[in-house]
Structure formats: C-alpha cells, structure tokens
Amino acid sequence: MNLEQLKAFVEVAQVGNFTRAAERLHLAQPSLSRQITTLEQDLGAELFHRARRGSTLTVAGESLLPLARRMLADADSVRRELAELAGLQRGRVRLGATPTLCVSLVAEVFTAFHAAHPGIELHLSEHGSRSLLERLSAGELDLALITTSDSAAPERFTVEPLLVEELVVISSSSAPPVGDGDSIGLAEVAALPQIVFSSTYDLRATTDAAFAAAGVVPTAVVEGAEMDAVLRFVERGLGVAIVPAMVLVERPGLSAVRLRHPTLTRTISVARPADIAPTAAVRVLQRTIARTAGELAAASAETMRLAGVDQGAARSSSP
C-alpha cells in the first residue's frame, strides 16, 4: 500500500467513475486501474463494485475510505511541517515588546533563539502594550510581549499569559537600606527621591495610579528616563525606582525591597493574531519565550531570596 494508491482510491470513490478519476489525477485510465487492483490484492478485498454506469464502494471500500482520507491528510500535514522546519534555515520573525522587557526577557530569548536558528532574522519593535497590539492587528508584527493590564479583544488576538511579576523598589547596593525591613509602603516610597519612567511606559501608568489611589505624590529627582537610564541612575545612588523584579537578575549593584499595602504586580503575556496561522519560526520563538520566561521567573525569585526576601518575586503562568 502506498499514498498514490490511496489517493487513486479516494478519487474514484468521490467521482464514482474510473475514467473521470484518471482525468482528474492526470493519469492514464489503465494506470489508475492497476493501482486500485494492486491495492485490492494487498488488502485481500475488493473495494469497488464495477459496472458500466459507474463504480460504487463495497463494504470493505466503505471501511477503508475514512482511513484513507485521514492517512492522506496526515501525509499532507507532515509535508507542510517539514517544509516549515526547512524554512527555519532562513526567514524572519517580527517581535514587539514593551521597553522594560527588552532589557530582561527579550535579551535572553533572542540569545537562545539565535544560537539555535542563526539563519532567522529577528526584528524588534519597542512600544507600549496598546501600541504593540495596534501594530499586531495591522500585520506589522508576528508576536508581541505585552502587559495584560491593557486588555486585548479575544476575537482579534490569541493571548498566552507567561508570568505574574512583582514590582519592587530598588536602590543602590552601596547606599543605606531603604526602610528598616524587607518591605516598604507607598507613602514611604513617595517621600524618597525617585527616578521616574517616561510617560510612554506602561509601568509609569501603573505606578502613577497606585500613588494616586494611596493619596500621595512621589518626589521625582529625574523624570522621563528609559529603563537602562533608570537602572544606571539608581546604581549611582541618585534615587530609588519601582521596577519589575526580573530586571534585578545579574545586577549586583542594585538592592530591592517589596512594596506593601498594596503589593503591585503585572502579568506578562505573549500575543499573536488569532486569524493568522503562525509559521514554524514564529511557533519556535513563542516556545522559546515561554521557556525563557519560566527560567527568568525562577532566577528572579532566587535573586530576591539571596537578597534576604523570603518569597519569590515572579511566578510562571505557563502550564
């Protein structure tokens, strides 16, 4: 039994005529007949009742038909998958991410993906979550790493939560500890000199809302900074900042304490268009993102533990 025989069998079953089936398959009618006869001999059963007016399936033929269709469909799936895997030798993936993720998660993801698939071009766009979803909808991106505080319409996007990350207060390791324990209240943070993010950051909107809800106004010494600059300014002792715990990994120049009343968190998710089938490269990058997010969540929790904080600051949302 082979796929050509099964294809010939399914075609004859659909049109009920050997001659028309041969025409549709671009075969000579005797060649198609031989394929069916050989198949019947291999199976030890007649598959068609042959008559001048057409051919109908026997009981054996009716049993074989759904199996043959499934086998042909599986063969097509294998061909497509192998063709896409071959495509991992070249091509591109366009990823969008919020700026705070570009200095942590995206850097690790791109390093791992490029090492495994150096022929794939990686394109990165840095924007806030709302802008990333707009670009995703417009077909300008294949995937987007967003904070899910900006809700995505389920009919337009497939959104997979990756991890829930805690926001912490960071200060210079060379400066005196912030507060007298491993946590600090928003009112206490507001009284400290702060390095404040650009207004385009999702993180800025989150912290502004938290301060407003607490009825306090933060004291800003530097305002409008990007993530890299915020971390450098804090390391040099210019002030404190509220950042995702994940950025602390491999940054010994920073110390951190938790916020209390309230504790602030954000959910990191990966989004893609719901109506477009992802390519093999996009699927592999999405799996790399999910795996790396879990690894960074564990590393972040360990960093906080070593800093003297008992609980993990990030937890994976992946199954």
pLDDT of residue 312: 44
Q: Is 237 helix (H, G, I), strand (E, B) or coil?
A: coil
pLDDT of residue 85: 65
CB neighbourhood size of 302 (10 A): 13
E strands of 7-142, at which residues?
A: 48-51, 54-57, 91-97, 120-126
Considering only CA atoms, give the Rg of the chain: 30
Which pair of structure tokens corresponds to residue 187?
């009112």
pTM of the model as a whole: 0.64
Angle, vertex CA 242, rays to CA 241 and CA 247, nearest 5: 95
- In the chain (319 residues long), the average pLDDT of successive 10-residue segments reads 92 93 92 94 94 91 93 81 69 88 89 91 90 88 81 71 90 86 88 90 88 92 89 94 85 89 88 86 92 84 62 50
Pairing between β-strand 157-172 and β-strand 254-260 as defined by DSSP bridges? antiparallel
pLDDT of residue 303: 65
Question: Residue 18: which of 59, 67, 52 has the closest Cα?
Answer: 52
Q: Which CATH code of 3.40.190.290, 3.90.226.10, 3.40.50.720, 3.90.245.10 fits the domain covering 92-316?
A: 3.40.190.290
Domain spans of the chain? 3-87, 92-316
pLDDT of residue 152: 46
Residue 22, CA distances (Å) to 48, 50, 54, 67, 110 in order: 15, 15, 13, 21, 51
Residue 236, CA distances (Å) to 14, 30, 233 in order: 76, 85, 5
Q: Which CATH code of 1.10.10.10, 3.30.70.600, 3.40.50.1000, 3.30.750.24 fits the domain covering 3-87?
A: 1.10.10.10
